[in-house]
Amino acid sequence: MSEKKINALIGQSGGPTAAINATLAGVVRGLRALPGCGEIYGAMNGIDGVIAGNIRDIGSRLRTEEELNALECTPSAALGSCRRKLPDVSDTEFYGKIFDRFAEYGIGMFFLIGGNDSMDTVDKLSRFAASAGSPVRIIGVPKTIDNDLEITDHTPGYGSAAKFIATVCEEIAGDCAVYTTKACTIVEIMGRDAGWLTAAAALPRLYGQVCPDLVYLPEVSFDYDEFINSVLALFEIKPNIVVAVSEGIRDAEGRYVGEGSQSGVRDIFGHRYLAGTGKVLEETVRARIGCKVRSIELSLPQRCAGHCLSAADIRESVMIGKAAAGFAAAGRTGEFAVLKRVPGLDYAIVPDAVPVSLVANKIKKVDRAFINAAGNNVTDELLRLIAPMIEGEVAVPMRGGLPERFELKE
């Protein structure tokens, strides 16, 4: 018991999600279970906090089950976030300062919870540590609503975002169904490069509920004629058409639909930044069909809807955080914690770790086989794969009819 204890530092990075705080709570829970863990610090605003010395003792703020549970169902990022691309590891002055900071706080383990870009940070820090002979263990813990990280079965944060998107798309489709006049409603969903989030819009179909009739992912080139013809064909059988589109759909030449240049309605857009994928398709339908049309951009609520959490997502987000603490304790470094699906009929997920270089700066797309031949919807097979990730509800503490949030005040 006289052995020197190792302090730990945790940071959050990239866009917030509804589950990134659950992972933070998981890392804290995992560290607490380690005999050799000393103080638990939080780096405010990710790596920026390390550089600036904006580091707080969060262990003393997260002592009780009640506090950890409350943090687990609080969306956003309790430690703040940043978007910073680190310089090449050859910049020894830059990295030297970061590791000096680690030394200052007696940090032996650094955890960065983040997405693709954050894994680049983890990769660089661990490569510098190796070259400099530093004993600090660097572990990346994934989070991203986009679900576009390689190797991990899926990413913590995706399930809750998918649940919100599926729920809201069902509600929009149900709302639109009440009128008898022909109308087309276009729902724009996040996902610049991968269509995982947009695919979730079709989940209600698995349960016989209404949902978007057409689903366009960035994995397939978008064809304006096919789109218009599909809407027209659907109008033959019902008056209300709902279309889900990824913000990142591109035409055959690789140009983003959101740029508006290939939609046939270029002249009515003043400036490109006024457009958006949904808006461009709205204008396309207005110009080529002339029916009532509206577009809805789900926007930020997709990633922060803490009132609509997936219990499976929160459970796994805590689990992967706990596991990450164990990996660091076992002396692993330069690794990335992943969720591994156990083969079998029942859904089961276990944590694992792989070298972070295998994921940094890579994007996992939706397999073409999961998209129908026409390229305008996803298969039931994909939906069955995603379905367990949105299962279960989280009883968020409420006050006055609104969710109560946990704040990591000092």
Q: Which residues bind a second copy (CB under 8 A)?
A: 12, 16, 45, 48, 74-77, 80-83, 163, 166-168, 170-172, 174-180, 185, 203-204, 206-207, 209, 267-271, 274-275, 279, 283, 294, 296-297, 299-301, 303-308, 310-312, 387, 390-393, 398-405
Nearer to a second copy among residue 127 and residue 307 (C-beta): 307
Catalytic residue among 48, 120, 123, 146: 146
Nearer to a second copy among residue 209 and residue 357 (C-beta): 209
Q: How many CB atoms lie within 10 A of CB 225?
A: 9
Backbone angles phi, psi at 63, to 5 degrees: -100, -40
Kindly tell me the sign of the dihedral angle through the C-alpha atoms of 64, 70, 72, 76: negative
Nearest approach, Cβ of residue 241 and a second copy (Å): 14
Backbone angles phi, psi at 212, to 5 degrees: -55, 140
Q: How many whole angstroms separate alpha carbon 389 and alpha carbon 49?
A: 32
Identify whether the C-beta of residue 25 lies closer than 8 Å to the C-beta of residue 318.
yes
Nearer to a second copy among residue 2 and residue 180 (C-beta): 180
Q: How many CB atoms lie within 10 A of CB 271?
A: 7
**Which DSSP state fits 17?**
B
Torsion of CA 14, 61, 111, 159, to 10 degrees: -50
Nearest approach, Cβ of residue 201 and a second copy (Å): 12
Nearest approach, Cβ of residue 70 and a second copy (Å): 13
Nearer to a second copy among residue 132 and residue 268 (C-beta): 268
Nearer to a second copy among residue 245 and residue 328 (C-beta): 245
SS3 83: coil
**Nearest CA among 18, 26, 28, 115 for reference residue 76:** 18
Identify whether the C-beta of residue 386 lies closer than 8 Å to the C-beta of residue 197.
no
Clarify whether 225 is annotated catalytic. Answer: no
Q: In what order do the strands lie in the sheet with 240-246?
A: 214-216, 240-246, 183-189, 292-297
Nearer to a second copy among residue 254 and residue 270 (C-beta): 270
Q: Give the Cα-Cα-Cα angle 268, 272, 278 (nearest 5 degrees).
A: 80
Q: How many whole angstroms separate alpha carbon 62 and alpha carbon 29?
A: 9
Please list the active-site residues: 146
